[in-house]
């Protein structure tokens, strides 16, 4: 099934399942975390005080298993940091398109956030699979109990390196909206992708069958 999130996917969204590869040229890129085979870069753009991020790691697993984990929406709440709930609004496996609704659990006293994510799955000629996500301001009624996120972009990229060896990268940016101290937001942007890739490793280490991927990325 369908993620982080997904680059929600996600949070910042989940604020980080939150990020963008299509961001404006970065002024400063810093390797903020490098441990447990995970690297996280934070990128400061002169026109945006909120950090962008890029994170990457390698896993000893099949590419199909990693992609399937990201697309398994029902399971996402069990391992994606800050993911409160997620549901599929629409999905077309032939076109590789989907629409998701997510609720992100923010720490008290902040209000929880929600967003509608439009996603696209792509497989290139080299077999690299990319999942591109962006927030859209449509598709699900706004709830006054949540702050709606409308500025979010995030990508996942999966590349096979060898038999049962893959490289996973995630990029992201999100405006968390509302009154949140910038220092808190940027600290979150550094830690969330690291936590997500750590938890992803744990999930991939569990024995499970490998379901068939959607038609668009087979």
pLDDT digits (tens, 9 = 90+) for 73-101: 989 999 998 899 999 999 999 999 999 99
pLDDT above 60 (res 16):
no
User: The whole model's pTM is what?
Assistant: 0.85
pLDDT above 70 (res 49):
no
97 in a structural domain: yes
pLDDT above 60 (res 25):
no
Cα-to-chain-centroid distance, residue 48: 20
Q: Which residues make beta-bridge pairs with 99?
A: 90, 118
49 in a structural domain: yes
10 in a structural domain: no
119 in a structural domain: yes
Count of domains in the chain?
1
- Residue 211 is predicted with a pLDDT of 84
CA torsion, points 96, 63, 26, 42, in degrees to nearest 10? Answer: 120
d(CA 179, CA 75): 31
- Residue 10 is predicted with a pLDDT of 37
Write out pLDDT tens, residues 147-167.
Answer: 999 989 999 999 999 999 999
Q: What are the structure tokens assigned to 144, written together?
A: 């006054």
Mean pLDDT of the chain: 85
The residue whose two tokens read 């992803």 is 200
Peptide bond between residue 29 and the one before it cis (omega within 30 degrees of 0): no
35 in a structural domain: yes
Task: Please give the angle made by the CA atoms of 173, 176 and 181, to the nearest 5 degrees.
Answer: 110
Question: Would you give the DSSP letter of residue 24?
Answer: P
Question: Would you give the DSSP letter of residue 193?
Answer: H
pLDDT above 80 (res 53):
yes
Residue 210's domain comprises 28-217
205 in a structural domain: yes
CATH number for the domain that contains residue 171? 3.30.530.20
Burial 15-38 (b: 16+ CB within 10 A, else e): bbbbbbbebeebeeeeebbeeeeb
114 in a structural domain: yes
Instruction: Classify residue 144 as exposed, middle or buried by CB count within 10 Å of its CB (0-12, 13-18, 19+).
Output: exposed
12 in a structural domain: no
pLDDT above 90 (res 15):
no
Q: What are the structure tokens assigned to 115, written together?
A: 């967003």
- Residue 21 is predicted with a pLDDT of 34
Residue 3 or 130, more confident:
130
The residue whose two tokens read 């497989």 is 123
């Amino acid at each position: 099934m369908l993620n982080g999130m997904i680059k929600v996917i996600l949070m910042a969204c989940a604020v980080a399942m939150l990020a963008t590869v299509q961001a404006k040229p970065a002024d400063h890129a810093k390797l903020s975390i490098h441990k447990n085979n995970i690297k996280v870069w934070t990128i400061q753009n002169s026109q945006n005080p909120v950090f962008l991020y890029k994170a990457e790691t390698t896993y000893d697993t099949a590419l199909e298993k990693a992609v399937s984990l990201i697309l398994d929406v029902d399971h996402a709440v069990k391992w994606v940091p800050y993911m409160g709930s997620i549901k599929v609004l629409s999905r077309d496996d032939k076109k590789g398109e989907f629409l998701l609704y997510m609720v992100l659990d923010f720490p008290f006293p902040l209000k929880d956030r929600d967003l509608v994510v439009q996603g696209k799955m792509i497989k290139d000629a080299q077999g690299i699979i990319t999942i591109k996500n962006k927030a859209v301001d449509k598709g699900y009624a706004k709830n006054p109990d949540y702050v709606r996120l409308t500025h979010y972009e995030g990508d996942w990229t999966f590349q096979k390196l060898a038999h049962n060896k893959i490289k996973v990268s995630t990029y992201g940016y999100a405006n968390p909206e509302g009154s949140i101290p910038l220092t808190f937001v940027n600290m979150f942007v550094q830690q969330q992708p690291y936590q997500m890739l750590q938890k992803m490793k744990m999930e991939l280490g569990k024995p499970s069958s490998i379901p068939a991927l959607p038609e668009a990325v087979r």
